[in-house]
Amino acid sequence: MDCKPLTFFLFLFFISLTESTIYPSNEVNLLDSKASQGELGWISSPSHGWEEISGVDEHYTPIRTFQVCNIMEYSQNNWLRTNWIPRKSAQKIYVELKFTLRDCNSIPLVLGTCKETFNLHYLETDEDQGAKFREHQFSKIDTIAADESFTQSDLGDRILKLNTEVREVGPITKKGFYLAFQDVGACVALVSVRVYFKKCPFMVKNLAMFPDTVPMDSQSLVEVRGSCVNNSKEEEPPKMYCSTEGEWLVPIGKCLCNIGYEEREVSCQACRPGFYKASSGNLACSKCPPHSYAHQEGSVHCDCEKNYFRAEGDPASMACTRPPSAPGNVISVINETSVILDWSWPADTGGRKDVTFNVVCKRCWPGPRQCEPCRGAVRFLPRASGLTNTTVTVADLLAHTNYTFEIEAQNGVSSLAPALRQFAAVTITTNQAAPSQVTVIRKDRTSRNSISLSWLEPERPNGIILDYEVKYYEKQEQETSYTILRSKGTNVTLSGLKPDTTYLLQIRARTAAGYGSSSRKFEFETSPDSFSISSENSQVVLIAISSAVAIILLTVLLYVVIGRFCGSSKSKHPDEKRLHFGNGHLRLPGIRTYVDPHTYEDPSQAVHEFAKELDASCIAIDKVVGAGEFGEVCSGRLRLPSKKEICVAIKTLKTGYTEKQRRDFLSEASIMGQFDHPNIIRLEGVVTRSKPVMIVTEYMENGSLDSFLRKHDAQFTVIQLVGMLRGIASGMKYLSDMGYVHRDLAARNILVNSNLVCKVSDFGLSRVLEDDPEAAYTTRGGKIPIRWTAPEAIAYRKFTSASDVWSYGIVLWEVMSYGERPYWEMSNQDVIKAVDEGYRLPPPMDCPAALYQLMLDCWQKDRNNRPKFEQIVSILDKLIRNPSSLKITANTTSRPANLLLDRNSTDITSFRTMGDWLESVRTLPCKEAFSGVSYSSCDTLAKTSAEDFKKIGVTIVGPQKKVVSSIKALETHTKDGPVPV
């Protein structure tokens, strides 16, 4: 029977069953029969055995198959040998056979011996042996049986079952090999033969590249080191194992993308512009944070925009930041020598949270850049720098001193941008403050009846210490009765004490600002009374006592004689004034001192201590006479129960006042209420318990002295004027004795009553700063009535009774010139400059030389050389008693006399007579009158430029004109006779 039709069928069915020819990536084909387009050219032996048949698959791709079906004959041994297959790098090969096999039972009338298997053989050789084929050289790999065979009915159903068998062969050591298929009587169609070996294919794992790797033939794995992809680096050496099955196993270690690169599709790619990557790792690149940029690819960081910075330690992911703006709204609350500074958070923190504040303290003087860092023990609470809160307390400043505080907000980038740093500044002037405590007291000597003590000045005197108050009492008396001593020095002897007694003692210092707090109580004991006389030494003791008595008597006698001889009525300790108090009350009258209401914790307590509370129903307001800083000033009447009605001036506090305004307003009463003198305006009382709050004083019919004099120009006799001046000096003496420094003594602050009695007025703590329209801000920030103020008070706020004396000299000038404005229209700056250079106001017209001399004495640069008020009073008294002394005038020409006098070249004190004075002035060359500007004649002075006038401190047009006109007058009068100065 011809078997061709059968093979035909086999083939027909076969093609429809062809599988896809996509192989796993880890399989490398050495032979694939399906891939062959033409004849395979395998050797078939015998030639009528295996037969090569061509066909097409479902895609019409030609394929080659071999089949054999010699089942009708006995003893079949048909061989089919492949071509030589190079081994390449294979160690173990795989043979995949696809075939169909006919079920012997399904074939009717089989004549031979039908088989359902065939054999697979191989032969290794180093070279192709061509057509030479010898069966015995081949080694059998296996007998191949079909898993699925087909029957005739399958053919009818057109279903053929394709078998796939795979056999491993190895290790192969020679360069190539052959495969051979031995048929021993089966009906088989070899549809495809594929020979391949396995490998672990190239792979990128964890950014490491692993090359193609052929596994070992044995069971062992091949360890393969990976290499990092471009732009990455090993974090841990990357490795993998290649299994015999061509699979990568157990990846270990990894590579990380370099900084500036991110992992993208198993490679490391540069960050795009606008992105950065600061650390290696497999993170993605990040977008540049605010206020930064990265123009380049592969950026490892973003640069900050202009004026933005990154502090050390700022992460690259943080926005660039800038220094904060200045703190705002600085508020200072001054309490004597401490100040609480408070400010608000800067409007712009620069984008950071680490904002802190630094406070710099500078002590300032007038003039440009006249500040220097605060030295000494200025204390900042909690500290000066690194403040996290918006407040600081600065303590232990000097009293009456100008300070500037610079508050800078800082953040982490401030140090990188010094040019952008900003600060807020506040200038303050400390108040006067009482001295600090006396802390060190030493016992120098003790006897039965006395103790000598000395002590150290308080650490912070806060001014000139006027005296010390020493208070002592017997310990057992429990302070019900005590004695007070005053001492100008820092030592004292307590005498008249009881022997063998314990005393307690406290000391406190006093300045113009009042008393400081008392020292702690020190305990001292007098020596015991050891003079008990025994019988055997009574004689010795008697002699000793008689000698002692004799010595004492002699001493007393000497003291009296010397005292008489010197004509001195002074006590042994002129500085000490002793007051005795019993049950806490004043026993003997002594010197009272002014108490600064500020030293009271509660200022309203001070008002009620020094001022009487009046019932508003006792006051009748008549009319408004003027306006003050706090409200209207009215005239009216006060009728107290069982007292005569009197005229009063009533100062009111306008409604809507703040607590501070109320305090400041009433502080005037607290001060005025402490004074009792005919030349000090008398306080009648205050109304604080009903509104409006009022201060009631005696009524002064003629109002303030300056306007009164202007109203009555040239209407008084010199004696009348001197009488007024004497009153003012007397009032001022009283104030200075009380330890009160007025600071704003000026004719406008003197009131005149109907009897022409002048009284000093205008007290109060803030008045000098706020109330006086004449007060001007100095460069140091304080407000000072420049024209009336002594240079040292302007320059460094040294306000003392001596500076009040300077002001008194100006009042003297105002009085003698009938209310002329001191220094006319010169600017404050020019006044300061001129006075500093030694120029002084000239004598007013018709001013008695003695009074002008007194003015000049009051205007001595060295305040120690100025007369005391006590001396002024006595000089004026002498002038009043001797009116002829007032006849010598300092000039005789008409007013105004506008030239300032140079004290260096014109000494008025040398003019004993009017003739002297006139002669001196007549011969005084202009260049001497104007030191610093050289003039050959008064002619040229009249033509002098403004620039030259500046040199002598005259800068504004008004005074310059006046000066020039006076110079012209000077020329004229020099020729004619009388000379204005």
Nearer to ligand ACK among residue 772 and residue 902 (C-beta): 772
189 part of the interface to ligand ACK, by CB under 6 A: no
Question: Of 349, 452, 707, 766, which one interacts with ligand ACK (CB under 6 A)?
Answer: 707
Which positions from 637 through 666 interact with ligand ACK, judged by CB under 6 A?
649
* Shorter beta-carbon distance to ligand ACK: residue 144 or 700: 700
Q: Tell me the CA distances in angstroms from 195 to 11, 27, 98, one per residue in order.
A: 22, 10, 12
Q: Identity (one letter) of the amino acid at 304? A: C
Type of residue at 68: V
Residues 699 and 133: their CA atoms lie apart, in Å, by: 154
Note whether 18 binds ligand ACK by CB under 6 A. no
Catalytic residue among 706, 744, 902, 948: 744
Total chain residues near ligand ACK (CB under 6 A):
13
Q: In the bound complex, what is the minimum distance in angstroms from residue 707's beta carbon to ligand ACK?
A: 5
Pairing of strands 481-487, 577-582: antiparallel
226 marked ligand binding residue: no
Is 311 a binder of ligand ACK (CB under 6 A)?
no
Rg of the chain on CA atoms, in Å: 60
Residue 626 annotated as lining a ligand binding site: yes
Tell whether residue 190 is a contact of ligand ACK (CB under 6 A): no
Rule CB under 6 A: choose which of 290, 626, 883, 958 binds ligand ACK. 626
Tell me the per-residue interface mask from 671 to 690 with ligand ACK, x by CB under 6 A, - otherwise: ----------x---------
* Burial classification of residue 42, based on how many CB atoms lie within 10 Å of its CB (0-12 exposed, 13-18 middle, 19 or more buried): buried
Is 575 a catalytic site residue?
no
Where is 784: in which H helix or E strand?
strand 783-784
Task: Compute the least distance from the CB of residue 628 to ligand ACK, in Å.
Answer: 5
Determine if 822 is a binding residue for ligand ACK (CB under 6 A): no
Q: Give me the residues paired with residue 31 across strands.
A: 195
Which residue, 102 or 748, has its beta carbon nearer to ligand ACK? 748
Does residue 703 bind ligand ACK (CB under 6 A)? yes
**Binding positions for ligand ACK, 246-285, rule CB under 6 A:** none
Q: Which residue has the tokens 């401490």?
A: 338
| φ and ψ at residue 40, rounded to 5 degrees | -80, -30
Q: State the minimum distance, in angstroms, from the CB of residue 758 to ligand ACK.
A: 12
Binding track, positions 724-753, relative to ligand ACK; x by CB under 6 A: ---------------------------x--
Kind of pairing between the strands at 451-455 and 783-784: unpaired
Q: What count of residues does the chain have?
A: 981
Closer CB to ligand ACK, 515 or 699, in the complex: 699
Q: Binding of ligand ACK at residue 611 (CB under 6 A)?
A: no
CB of 784 to ligand ACK, least distance (A): 20
CB atoms within 10 A of CB 821: 13
CB closer to ligand ACK, 258 vs 702: 702
Closer residue to ligand ACK (CB): 33 or 704: 704
The piece of 368-376, 378-386, 623-631, 924-932 that touches ligand ACK (CB under 6 A) is 623-631
**Phi and psi (nearest 5°) for 19?**
-90, 170
Q: Does 631 bind ligand ACK (CB under 6 A)?
A: no
Among 17, 43, 204, 625, binds ligand ACK (CB under 6 A): 625
Distance CA 79, CA 235 (A): 58
Closest distance to ligand ACK from the beta carbon of 708 (Å): 7
Q: Which tokens belong to 40?
A: 């395979």
Minimum distance of ligand ACK from residue 698's CB (angstroms):
6
Adjacent-strand bridge partners of 321: 309
873 assigned ligand-binding residue: no
Beta carbons of 16 and 58 less than 8 angstroms apart? yes
Task: Determine the 3-state secondary structure of 491 from DSSP.
Answer: strand
Under the binding rule (CB under 6 A), the answer on residue 697 touching ligand ACK is yes
Out of 200, 361, 451, 700, name the contact with ligand ACK by CB under 6 A: 700
Do 652 and 588 form a contact (C-beta atoms < 8 A)?
Answer: no
User: Segment near ligand ACK (CB under 6 A), from 67-75, 345-353, 692-700, 948-956?
Assistant: 692-700
How many CB atoms neighbour CB 576 within 10 A? 17
Select the residue whose beta carbon is closest to ligand ACK and give its number.
626
The reply to whether 699 sits near ligand ACK by the rule CB under 6 A is yes
**Considering beta carbons, is residue 707 or 779 the nearer one to ligand ACK?**
707
User: Cβ closer to ligand ACK: 703 or 980?
Assistant: 703
Q: Any binding-site annotation on 633? A: yes
Asked whether the beta carbons of 723 and 733 are under 8 A apart, the reply is: no
Q: Show the beta-strand stretches assigned E in 51-138.
A: 51-56, 62-69, 78-81, 85-86, 93-101, 117-125
198 Cα distance to chain centroid:
75
Tokens representing residue 198 in the block:
């396995």
CB 801 within 8 A of CB 870: no
| 629 annotated ligand binder | yes
With CB under 6 A as the contact rule, the residue among 251, 628, 692, 896 that binds ligand ACK is: 628
Q: Which of 423, 419, 392, 427 is nearest to 409 (CA)?
A: 423
Question: What Å distances lie between residue 418 and 309, 316, 384, 422, 535, CA to CA?
Answer: 12, 22, 19, 9, 93
Applying CB under 6 A, the span of 424-432, 570-578, 625-633, 958-966 interacting with ligand ACK comes to: 625-633
Task: Choose the binding region for ligand ACK from 445-453, 697-705, 906-914, 919-927 (rule: CB under 6 A).
Answer: 697-705
* Least distance CB 669 / ligand ACK (angstroms): 13
391 forms part of the interface with ligand ACK (CB under 6 A): no
Q: Applying CB under 6 A, does 632 fall inside the site for ligand ACK?
A: no
Alpha carbon distance 916, 799 (integer Å): 36
300 annotated among ligand-binding-site residues: no
Question: Per CB under 6 A, which region of 248-256, 620-628, 789-797, 853-861 contacts ligand ACK?
Answer: 620-628
Q: Amino acid identity, residue 461? A: P
Burial class (CB in 10 A: 0-12, 13-18, 19+), 884: exposed
**To which residue do tokens 């009525």 refer?**
569
Q: Which of 163, 652, 674, 704 binds ligand ACK (CB under 6 A)?
A: 704
The response to whether 625 counts as a known ligand-binding position is: yes
Tell me the DSSP string of 380-441: EES-SSSB-SSEEEEESPPTT-EEEEEEEEE-TTGGG-GGG--EEEEEEEPPP--------E
Instruction: Give the residue with the Cβ less far from ligand ACK, 505 or 671.
Output: 671
The sheet carrying 441-446 orders its strands as 441-446, 451-455, 491-494
Tell whether 627 is in a known binding site. yes
Residues flagged as binding site: 625-633, 651
Residues flagged as binding site for ATP: 625-633, 651
Catalytic residues: 744
Binding region for ligand ACK (CB under 6 A):
625-626, 628, 633, 649, 681, 697, 699-700, 703-704, 707, 751
